[in-house]
Structures are given as structure tokens and as C-alpha cells.
Amino acid sequence: MIPKDNLILIKNIQIYSEDRFIENGYIIMKNKKIIEVGVLSDLENDQDYQIIEVPSGFIAVPGFIDVHIHGVNGADTMDATKEALDTMASALPKEGTTSFLATTITQERKEIEKALINAGEYMKTQADQGKAEVLGIHLEGPFVNAKRAGAQPVHHIIDPNVSFLKEWLALSNHSIKLVTLAPEQPNGLEMVRYLKENGIIASIGHSDATYEQVVEAIEAGANHVTHLFNQMKGLHHREPGVVGAAFLHDELKAEIIADGVHVRPEMVKLAYQQKQREGLILITDSMRAKCLKNGTYDLGGQEVTVKDGKAVLEDGTLAGSILKLGQAFKNILNYTGCSIEDAIQMASVNPAKQLNIYDRKGSIAKGKDADIVILDHNREIFMTICRGEVAFHKEDDIK
């Protein structure tokens, strides 16, 4: 018999597995992986399982993957400390996030470099269970367009510069997986081509590109759009801009902040109708104030005030969000009327495929990392399992 603790069993649960919905199923995990998913009546009871009890009617969905998150619970990627990333990795399971890209912001070169070195180092030694996994870095800026800066500090914005990028890749131990840039800026297309050649996602964002400029960027290898609608040309009938290009080109996967504040619910629905479930990726773009009280916080050296569910700069510009990915999951269901399967596609499958890690994350299937979220009847997070270890349990949280 296999010794206890080695086999972990969740049973009597509805499972949204990779290839089917199971009404009353079970999942067996071992050594951080899912080793079996099936119908409960097929479970062989001859093993000594460690059982995770779940109330009836709850559902299991794959862990959410946030490809755009700056901070949470007082910590930010730009703090450039092990503690900051650890705080993020520990806090995120509470919202159903089991892996993420630590996201930087436009800053002085040395500040960005510190954050890159720190994240690269952190990834080498991060806990392999029980916390969200840092999958890499999302470099947001500084290669963006000052006209669409938003909360990116304008005076630190620079033109795309491939030699900087090469140095940064080395400093980060090659953990930069996604770069948000404005392809219409000088050397922008050169950078897109370089990213494409090196297997890094080139994302159009904080960009004033015209439709034609976006098409050129797609031809050069761009395949992603950073927070659709926010900080880009809107949809105009004589200038489709980044939004129109995103709607028309399936090559582009579009991030969306589905909080009802950065994008109002009707526009989330419009984007969903255009991009369909394959084309959208739910993100939070959240900042350190998430999970903290209303008040004043730092974002890239700027003061951000958080009140009434919004985070704004002094001049009223929307800064990062305080959205939780579990809430975005619920919101997309409400705003669009999509199914749970559709929401899973946007919260877990698409980001995993875009990052080229769908062989190990993004769905509940045999052989994949045991990254699982259990939702209650109201689709609130009840439990989050990160690589086979319970990282959040609502009942513990209440105590």
C-alpha cells in the first residue's frame, strides 16, 4: 500500500475537467500532480487516501492564471524583494489564482533592473507547493507611448530599445515572458520581431497605434493586447485603432479588466461577443492596495488613492485595479451570460496556452500540476490548491 499523505483525494465534487464535465467525480493528487480524474463510482477504494472534504454541490475548476498583476496585500513587484513576491504568492490563492506573471511598471532603469533581478532569483528558489507560482515577468513599459501613459510615469517612458531588452533578459535569468509595448514608437517593430524570435509574448498596450500600425505589428509577431480598451485608441468608425484591430484579428489575444470600472459591463460583453471565449484573457492589473483598507498607496513612485472600489492618481486617472481574479470570473459570467466552461477558458486555459505551458497548467487533467480551485454555490472561492497543497481554505479564513 502507498503510504498515507502521498495520495490526496477530493471526492463528491462536480468537476470541470479538460475534456468533460463530471457530475459526481473525484480527483487524486500525488507529488504536486493530478494523477487521476474520474467518475466517483469508478473510484477504487483500496488506497489509503488523505481526503479533502468538500460540501456537496461545490465545483472544481482549474486554478486561475493572472498574466498581469503588479501587487496585492501591501506588496508590489517593484519592491524588488523576496518578501514582496512571497507576500503576493501567499495572498493570491485567496482569489483563486494559482500562478501569475509578476508585472513591472515604467520606472527608472535601475528600479526596473532591481525588480527583474529579484524576480529571476525568486523563481529559482520559490516554494514548490502551497503558494501561487511565479511563472515569469510581465514587463509593462517603459517602451510605451507617453500619449497613452495612464498610470505609467511619463518621464520614465523611453523608445523601444532592443539592446536594453537583451540586457534585461539576461538580468532576469530569462524570465521575461510578456512585454507590453507601443509598436508605433521608433524601433517598435524591431522589438516585436525580436520578442517573437525569442518566444516572448509581444503585447500592444499603452499604445496610440492606428489600425494599420497594429496590422504591421501583427505581421511582425505581436499576438497579445494589454488591458483591452484601457490606454489605447478606442473604437472609431474611421479609425478602428487597437480595439478595432483586436476585434478583427484572431491572432491577438486580449487581456481585459472585467471589474466594471476599467471597462463597463456592456463593453466587456461587446468584447466577448467579438473575441469569443478563445480571444479574451481575464486579468486583474491589481496593485498593492488590493486586500488592504481604503487609503493612499504607492504605484511606481506615484500616490494612488483607493476609495469606493477604485484606485486613482491625483488627477483622477484610473491606476491599477483592486480587482480579484475570482471576482473577475464571477463578473464575466454576469456581464456576458457565458457558461462556466467559457469563463474557465478565459481565466485558465487561454493564459496557459498563450504562455505555452498548457502541457502542465490551465486545466484539470491527468499529469498536470494540481492547481485547483473549488467554488461554492455562489461561485465564491471555497478552497485553492496550489501544486497539490491547500493554499487557501475559506473555513480557516473565517476562524
Catalytic residues: 285
| Cα separation values, 298 from 75, 305, 388, Å | 10, 9, 35
> Which residue lies nearer to Zn ion by CB, 270 or 318?
318
- Residues 128-187, interacting with Zn ion (CB under 5 A): 140
* Contact criterion met (CB below 8 Å) for 71 and 27: no
Q: Is 160 exposed, middle or buried (0-12, 13-18, 19+ CB in 10 A)?
A: buried
Q: Does 142 sit behind a cis peptide bond, omega within 30 degrees of 0 on the bond before it?
A: yes
In the shown chain, the binding pattern of residues 238 to 277 toward Zn ion, with x for contact by CB under 5 A and - for none, equals: ----------------------------------------
> Which residue lies nearer to Zn ion by CB, 228 or 364?
228
Radius of gyration of the chain (CA): 21
Name the residue with the smallest CB distance to Zn ion: 285
> Which residue lies nearer to Zn ion by CB, 113 or 285?
285
- Closest separation in Å from C-beta 207 to Zn ion: 13
- Report which of 289, 328, 347, 331 is spatially closest to residue 151, judged by C-alpha positions: 289
- Residues 280-319, interacting with Zn ion (CB under 5 A): 285
> Which residue lies nearer to Zn ion by CB, 133 or 285?
285
- The angle that helices 82-91 and 109-125 make with each other, rounded to 10 degrees, is 60
Segment contacting Zn ion by CB under 5 A, of 80-88, 278-286, 287-295, 378-386: 278-286
- Closest separation in Å from C-beta 140 to Zn ion: 5
In the shown chain, the binding pattern of residues 19 to 38 toward Zn ion, with x for contact by CB under 5 A and - for none, equals: --------------------
- Closest separation in Å from C-beta 287 to Zn ion: 8
- Report which of 169, 143, 137 is spatially closest to residue 156, judged by C-alpha positions: 143
- Quick one: cell of 47? 488506497
- Closest separation in Å from C-beta 58 to Zn ion: 32
> Which residue lies nearer to Zn ion by CB, 66 or 140?
140
- Closest separation in Å from C-beta 321 to Zn ion: 9
Site membership for Zn ion, residue 66 (CB under 5 A): no
Name the site residues for Zn ion (rule: CB under 5 A).
Answer: 140, 285
